[in-house]
Amino acid sequence: MDQINLWKFFDTGHLKGFTLIIPSVAVGNVGQLACDLLISSLNMKKIASVYSSALIPVAGYDPYDLKSSKLSSSCEAYKCGERQLVILQLRAPLVFEYAQNFLEDVVKQFKAKKIKDIIVLTSSFAHERKHIMTSPFRYLASETSPYEDCLKSLNWLVHESLEGGIKIYGGGFATQIFQICKELDVPSLIIYKYCSEGDNIPDAYEMVNYLNNLLQFYSEGSDLMSELIQPVSWKLLFGRPPPRDIY
């Protein structure tokens, strides 16, 4: 089957100077949950829908507005003009055979729209954390990343590179798109958190808080937890409760 990547943009406005955030489908889905939290909290506007052979088909109600009559799909882009932010939300894993082509197309599409940089949010298996008493977060920045000075001032811990290339175990396609960004000369940054499977909502809150230190979605001194709005779709995150009849 030939690969198909179809982009439908509902908003043709410019994205020059914007930061693009992409969650990698990874252990605990922390990146996706963090993006959900940002889209809901910042009241972001859907600007594009994507169909690709690389995406497992998913369709459902609007995860941020129960009153909406519009459907949501596997991959959609959301924009917040005030904070110059775009999020490409993924709701399904990528098909390995077509992933490389799709990720290259993602980077090329947004590079053509003159975005400033790409941030990939992901996670890694908790048991891979070698130094238990340190922060559960790590980052990996490209040489052209605009956050170098800020990262140093925040004293964030950099990813420990091992022989045989860059690897984030359980991190999905994060390192793959990082390499693509490097080849296409797009500034990029990976932020990941060590975690386990389970209720990863607290991990998502921590990741948004961590990211806020870098991008300043909310002003210093504000109560971030009170600013964040959980998506309505999270009410069904673990399905319905068991029927009482079984007890």
CA 118 from centre of chain: 10
> Residues of the chain with pLDDT > 90: what percent?
75
Average pLDDT over residues 42-49: 96
pTM over 0.85: yes
C-alpha to C-alpha distance for 108 and 110, rounded to whole angstroms:
6
Residue predicted with more confidence, 247 or 8: 8
Distances in Å between the Cα of 153 and the Cα atoms of 76, 213, 239 are 34, 11, 42
The answer, yes or no, to whether residue 165 has pLDDT greater than 90, is no
Nearest CA to 167 out of 147, 127, 140 is that of: 140
- Confirm or reject CATH 3.40.50.300 for domain 14-42+95-217, answering yes or no: no
Average pLDDT over residues 174-185: 97
pLDDT confidence bin for 181, thresholds 50/70/90: very high
DSSP 220: T
End-to-end Cα distance, the chain: 49
